[in-house]
């Protein structure tokens, strides 16, 4: 299940992005848990209680950059879609942001960003499933070695 946080400066803007994300996801058969925030302090306290799988950042200026950096430091695997009024493309690249929008945002840009986000989230899930299977195989072989050792004793 996807847990997506939307962090925006204004309530109306946040609700609009939440609505667009919900429509995109339902069109792809995904029904995420969505929560919108307008206050960074509240947002960061809340995500420490319940880790998001992804965050849509819609913060202007350096506030967006600071939020993206802090979010990446807390959750390196969290998906980030970032919308800003300033040119932070290079910063977004360094922070491994899935998609960066420069305002003004149009529907085509939004769809493209969400498509990239969805592809990456699916890849992370598949990678996680493969890692889990590899871990189980390793654990199983170690358990077998241990049981043989115990029989010899």
CA atoms within 13 A on the CB side of 61: 3
If you average pLDDT over residues 116-137, what whole number do you get? 72
Q: What is the pTM of this model?
A: 0.81
pLDDT at residue number 133? 53
Using DSSP's 3-state secondary structure scheme, residue 6 falls into strand
Round to whole Å and give the CA distance between 138 and 135: 5
Quick: pLDDT tens for 138-147. 444 444 443 4
- Tell me what the pLDDT averaged over the chain comes to: 86
If you average pLDDT over residues 87-112, what whole number do you get? 94
Round to whole Å and give the CA distance between 42 and 44: 6
The H or E element that residue 142 is part of is helix 107-152
Residue 53: CB atoms within 10 A of its CB come to: 18
Residue 121: CB atoms within 10 A of its CB come to: 18
Quick: pLDDT tens for 31-56. 999 999 999 999 999 999 999 999 99
């Amino acid at each position: 299940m996807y847990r997506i946080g939307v962090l925006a400066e204004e309530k109306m803007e946040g609700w609009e992005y939440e609505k667009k994300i919900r429509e995109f996801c339902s069109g792809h058969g995904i029904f995420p848990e969505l929560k919108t925030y307008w206050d960074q302090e509240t947002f960061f306290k809340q995500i420490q209680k319940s880790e998001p799988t992804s965050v849509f950042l819609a913060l202007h200026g350096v506030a967006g950059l600071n939020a993206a950096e802090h979010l990446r430091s807390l959750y390196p695997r969290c998906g980030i879609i970032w919308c800003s009024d300033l040119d932070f493309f290079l910063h977004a690249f360094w922070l491994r942001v899935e998609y960066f929008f420069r305002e003004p945002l149009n529907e085509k840009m939004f769809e493209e960003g969400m498509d990239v986000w969805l592809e990456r989230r699916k890849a992370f899930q598949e990678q996680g499933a493969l890692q889990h299977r590899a871990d189980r195989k390793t654990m199983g072989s170690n358990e077998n070695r241990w049981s043989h050792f115990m029989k010899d004793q």
